[in-house]
Amino acid sequence: MSGKDSNDATTDTGPGAKRPVTHELPEGTNNRLITNLSPPVPVRVDNTPSGPVPVQSFSASNQELEIDDDELPSRRSPVRGLLPWTLVVLCILGGGFVAIRYYLPLVEKLQNNEAALAQSQKDNVVMRQQVDALESAQQELATKVAEREKEVAALQQTQDELVGKLDEEIKKGNVAISQASGQLVVDLVDKVVFDSGESEVNEKGMEVLRQVGETFLKVPDKIIQISGHTDAVPISPKLIERYPTNWELSTQRATNVVRFLQEQVNVPGERLAIVGRSQYQPVDSNASRSGRRRNRRIEVALLPTVKPTK
């Protein structure tokens, strides 16, 4: 399309109509730029009092406004290209600051708390085991205390019963009953059980031993131990053949008492024990007649049962 065709106006043929002034554009003018400049304000060139617009002005304007598309990137500001990368770097630096300032301390604190919690749980387990052990020991101790109290009560009842049966001999000084360390001991002077210089149990001794044996037999799970004791006087010549020393005399007397209790009182043999003490556990001085009399004795003791070790 030529410059003349693109700038023709509608012709009014009526009388008095003004004829528009037509301008031809120089060859080489950028039609695309003119097209872009046309909307939205239409340009009409006519005979106005200001006079015609020079063609050279449009040409200069077109040359100033026309920008080649290839030249646009080279004319952009370098700051606009660096801005996105600057923002990325700032975000990274900001995230690092937040991590160092806030996140890492929180992680460390959380790890410390988890470690403390784990240690606390271990301590709780150990304490629970200790508490269980203490409770078990306390229960065991309570059981032993109850058993001990029961034994003491049984011994006291046995002692009271023996005191009632042997009250006359106790008053004469021939029998002494004592209780200590879980043991009930009945001391019988030798003249109550044996004739002088003899080891066989006499009639009076049988009566007293029967009362003691029957009373002790009522207390279960106890050992009845018979101990023979002598004074420090050597064996007389008439008895030296039968009893060379006080060891033989004390042991033989204890043996005869045990046989009487088993055969006449029906005390089980597993509950009986014999001990010969000779002269070496006196209860009084051997320098006096009364002291020697007390030292010559038979001791019947009710003892706790000793369980054999495995």
Mean pLDDT of 111-120: 90
Q: Is the per-residue pLDDT at 32 higher than 80?
A: no
Backbone angles phi, psi at 164, to 5 degrees: -65, -40
The two tokens of residue 24 are 């031809």
Q: How many CB atoms lie within 10 A of CB 17?
A: 9
Which H or E element spans position 183? Answer: strand 183-189
Q: What is the pLDDT of residue 19?
A: 52
Q: Is the per-residue pLDDT at 202 higher than 70?
A: yes
Q: Is the per-residue pLDDT at 53 higher than 70?
A: no
Q: Is the per-residue pLDDT at 204 higher than 60?
A: yes
Q: pLDDT for 129-184, tens place per residue?
A: 999 999 999 999 999 899 888 888 888 999 999 999 999 999 998 999 999 888 99
Least confident of 80-84, 213-217, 251-255, 294-298: 80-84
Mean pLDDT of 46-72: 51
Q: What is the pLDDT of residue 305?
A: 81
The DSSP bridge pattern shows strands 272-278 and 222-229 to be parallel
The secondary structure of residue 267, as a DSSP letter, is -
Q: What is the pLDDT of residue 197?
A: 83
Banded model confidence at residue 200, pLDDT cuts 50, 70, 90: very high
Q: What is the pLDDT of residue 94?
A: 75
Backbone angles phi, psi at 44, to 5 degrees: -120, 125
Does residue 252 contact residue 243 with C-beta atoms inside 8 Å? yes
Q: Is the per-residue pLDDT at 2 higher than 50?
A: no
Q: How many CA atoms lie within 13 A of 214 on its CB side?
A: 12
pTM of the model: 0.58
Banded model confidence at residue 70, pLDDT cuts 50, 70, 90: low
Q: What is the pLDDT of residue 307?
A: 66
Mean pLDDT of 14-35: 49
Q: What is the pLDDT of residue 303?
A: 92
CA-nearest of 161, 179, 171, 166 to 217 is 161
Answer left, alpha or beta for residue 182, where phi above 0 means left and psi between -120 and 50 means alpha: left
Mean pLDDT of 208-236: 94
Distance set, CA 285 to CA 229, 276, 304 (Å) = 14, 19, 30
Q: Is the per-residue pLDDT at 63 higher than 60?
A: no
Q: Is the per-residue pLDDT at 272 higher than 70?
A: yes
User: How far is Cα 282 from Cα 290, in angstroms, rounded to an integer?
Assistant: 12
Backbone angles phi, psi at 196, to 5 degrees: -60, 125
